[in-house]
Amino acid sequence: MRAFHIDSPGAAPVLREIPAPIPAPGELCLRIGACGLNFADLLMISGDYQDTPPAPFTLGMEVAGVVESLGEPLPAQGTADAAPRPLPAIGSRVAVFGGQGGLAEQGCFPADRAVVIPDSMSDTDAAAFQIAYGTSHVALDHKARLQPGETLLVLGAAGGVGLTAVEIGKLMGARVIACARGADKLEIARKAGADHLIDARTDDIRAACKDLGGVDVVYDPVGGDQFDAAFRACNPEARILTIGFASGTVPLIKANHLLVKNLSVMGLYWGGYLRFRPAVVTDSMAQLLRWYEAGRIKPHVSHVLPLERAAEALDLLRQRKSTGKVVVTPR
C-alpha cells in the first residue's frame, strides 16, 4: 500500500510503498477514506511533538474509513476471566484518533478508540471532526466551564481548532470575539458565529478587547505576543486555555499577575484524556455527534487533496494558507 512515511529520525516524509498492515490484538484495520491534518503533524516531522512515535512511522493522526478486519479482542481490565471488550463490526464506518498512520491507504488503530459515525457524515467531515471539535468542547465545557453571557476570546480563530471554538462558544451562549489574520479569515470566523472581529495583523488586541468590556475566557492555540495581549485584557477570575503554540513561542507567565486578578491558566491536551480519563472524551464526542446530526455544527474544510499531494497539504498548514481543516484522501 502507499503511505506518507518517515523512515528514520529527522528524515523528511516521503510517499512510498510499504507492506499492508495486519491488526494486532485490540486493533482494527481500516480502509482509509480520509485523513485530517493537524499542526501536530508538522511537529512530528521535526520531532518536536510530545507524542512523536519512534521512526519508522506513517504520519496522520485522525482518520475515517471502513473496518476491513479485526485483531483478537483484548480481555477487559479486571479479573483474568473478564469478558473481552466489544469491537466495531467489520464493514462499519468509523473515525479513529490513532496518533499516527492516517496518511495511507490502510492503517491499524486501537479498536477502543473507534467511533462509529452516522450515515449522514462523510469521510471528509469525520476525518476533520474529532481533534478540532473534541479539543474545543473539552476545553470550553470541561475545563473552563464557559457560561452563557460570558465573553470568549478565540485566538487563531480561523484555524483548525480555533474555528470550532468559535462555533462551540456561540452554541454555549457566550459572546465570542474572534482574532485572526486578515479580512478573509475573519469573515470565515464571522460566519461561524463570532460577534466581534479583531485583525491580528493590524489591531491592538488588548485595546480592542478592553473596549468590548474585557474577556472572561481566552482560547489560545497561538501563544507568543497574542497570548500576552490577551492576558492583559482579562477580567478578574478569567480562565486562559493554552491549547498550543502555533506562533512558535511559548509564553512565560508571571505568577504575581495571576494573583492580582485571580486568573487561572489551564493547559489542555485532548489526546491525554484518552490515557487517564477517557470518559471525558467519550461523553464529549457523543454530544458533538448529536450537534452534528442536528445540523448545529459542521466542519469547515478549506482543502481536500489526494495522498500524492500530502506534502503540499502539510505545507498549507505550515504557510498558514488554510482555514479550518485540510483533509487528505487516498485517491
Q: Tens digits of per-residue pLDDT, 196-233?
A: 999 999 999 999 999 999 999 999 999 999 999 999 99
Q: How much is the mean pLDDT over the chain?
A: 94
Looking at the 3D structure of the chain, how many domains does it have?
Answer: 2
| 62 assigned to some structural domain | yes
Same domain? For 143 and 242 the reply is: yes
Same domain? For 117 and 139 the reply is: no
Among the listed residues 150, 155, 172, 151, the one whose alpha carbon sits nearest the alpha carbon of residue 284? 172
| 284 assigned to some structural domain | no
| 197 assigned to some structural domain | yes
- pLDDT of residue 118 exceeding 60, the answer is yes
Sign of CA dihedral 201, 149, 242, 10: negative
CB 71 within 8 A of CB 23: yes
Same domain? For 258 and 136 the reply is: yes
Q: The domain that contains 140 carries what CATH number?
A: 3.90.180.10
Over residues 253-261, the mean pLDDT reads: 92
| 285 assigned to some structural domain | no
Three cell numbers written together for 31: 480502509
| 288 assigned to some structural domain | no
Same domain? For 223 and 266 the reply is: yes
What are the angstrom distances between the C-alpha of 15 and each of 18, 102, 250, 325?
9, 13, 32, 21
| 117 assigned to some structural domain | yes
Three cell numbers written together for 273: 484524556
Widest Cα–Cα separation across the chain: 64
Q: Please give the residue range of the domain that contains residue 216.
A: 132-270
Return the pLDDT at 74: 78
Return the pLDDT at 79: 45
Same domain? For 136 and 252 the reply is: yes
Return the pLDDT at 21: 93
Over residues 12-27, the mean pLDDT reads: 94
Three cell numbers written together for 33: 477514506
